[in-house]
Structure 1
Amino acid sequence: MRFIRLIFIALLALILVGVALANREMVTLSLFPAGFGQFLGGTWSLAVPLFVVIFGAFALGMLAGLLWEWMREANYRREARLRHDEVARLESEMGHLRERHAAPRDDVLAILDEPSNRRPAAARVPSHAGTTPAQLPAAR
C-alpha cells in the first residue's frame, strides 16, 4: 500500500511539474475591472506566471469546498457531541448505581444468607430424622 501511495505522489508531482513548465508565460491579474482601480489610486494588478494562477485557483477551490462541507456538517457534529455527552452522563450514572448496589439482593437470597440463629423459628428449616439440612457454600 505504501508503494502504491509513493507511485501516486510521484505521478502527481510529475504532472504538476509538467503543467508548470507548459504554462510559464506571465499573465496580469487585476483585482478590479479596467479603469476602476484608477479611482482608488495605484495599480491593483500583479504579473505572475500562469501556472501560479492555475495552482492558486485550484487551492482556493479546495479551500472553499472544505469550508462549505465543514459548515454543512456542523449540525451532525453538534448532534454527535450531544449524544457523546449523554452517553458519558449515563455511563457515569450507571457506575454510581453499580457502586451503590454492589451486591444486589432479593428477599430469598437475603433469607438464605442470614445466619440460622437470627432467623425466626418459623423460617428455620426443619431437620428430618436422620438427614441434615443442605448447607450453602460459604461466601467468598
Structure 2
Amino acid sequence: MRFIRLLFLALLAILLVAVALANRDVVTLSAFPANFGQYLGGDWSISLPLFLVIFVAFALGMLAGLVWEYLREAHIRREARQRSAQIARLEGEVGHLRDRHAAPRDEVVAILDTPRAPKAGTTPAAGSTLPAPR
C-alpha cells in the first residue's frame, strides 16, 4: 500500500511539473472588467505565470468543496454527538441499576440470604448437597 501511495505521488508530481513547464507564459488577471478598476483607484490586475493561476484555482476549488461538505454534514455530526451523549447517559444509568439491584436491599435480607456454613463433622444427605438432617 505504501508503494502504491508513493507511486501515485511520484506520478502526480511528474504531471504537475509537466503542466507547469507547458504553461509558463505570463497572463494578466484583472479583478474588474475593462477599465472599471481605474474608477476605484489603483491597479486591480496582476501578472502571473499561467500554471500558477491553474494551481491556485484548483486549490481554491478544493477548499471551497471542503467547506461546502463540512457545512452540509454539520447536522449529521451534531446528531452523532447528541446520540453519543445519550448512549453514555444510558450506559451510566444501566450500570447504576445493575449496582443497585445486585446489592441486597437491607442488612436483614443480606444476613438471611448468606448461606450457612455446614457444621463440622456433618455429612450431606445422600443424593443431595444439603447438610444432613439433625
Q: 1: CA distance between counterparts of 2:81 and 2:13?
A: 39
TM-score (norm 1): 0.75
How much has 1:39 moved relative to structure 2? 0.8
Match of 1:27 in 2: 27
Match of 1:6 in 2: 6
How much has 1:33 moved relative to structure 2? 1.0
Which amino acid in 2 is paired with 1:98?
A: R
> What whole-Å deviation, never above 9, does each CA across 1:117-139 have from its counterpart, x for those lacking one?
xxxxxxxxxxxxxx577428xxx
Q: 2: CA distance between counterparts of 1:115 and 1:59?
A: 75
Q: 1: CA distance between counterparts of 2:85 and 2:48?
A: 51
SS of 1:47 mapped into structure 2: strand
SS of 2:24 mapped into structure 1: coil
In structure 2, stretches of 5+ residues that fail to align are 117-124
> What whole-Å deviation, never above 9, does each CA across 1:14-66 have from its counterpart, x for those lacking one?
00000001100100011111111011101001000000100011111111111
TM-score (norm 2): 0.78
Residue from 112, 116, 135 that aligns with 2:130: 135
Which amino acid in 2 is paired with 1:135?
A: L
How many residues align structurally?
119
Q: 1: CA distance between counterparts of 2:18 and 2:114?
A: 88
Percentage of identical aligned residues: 68
Residues 21/114 of structure 1: CA separation in 2 closer, same or farther (3 Å cut): closer
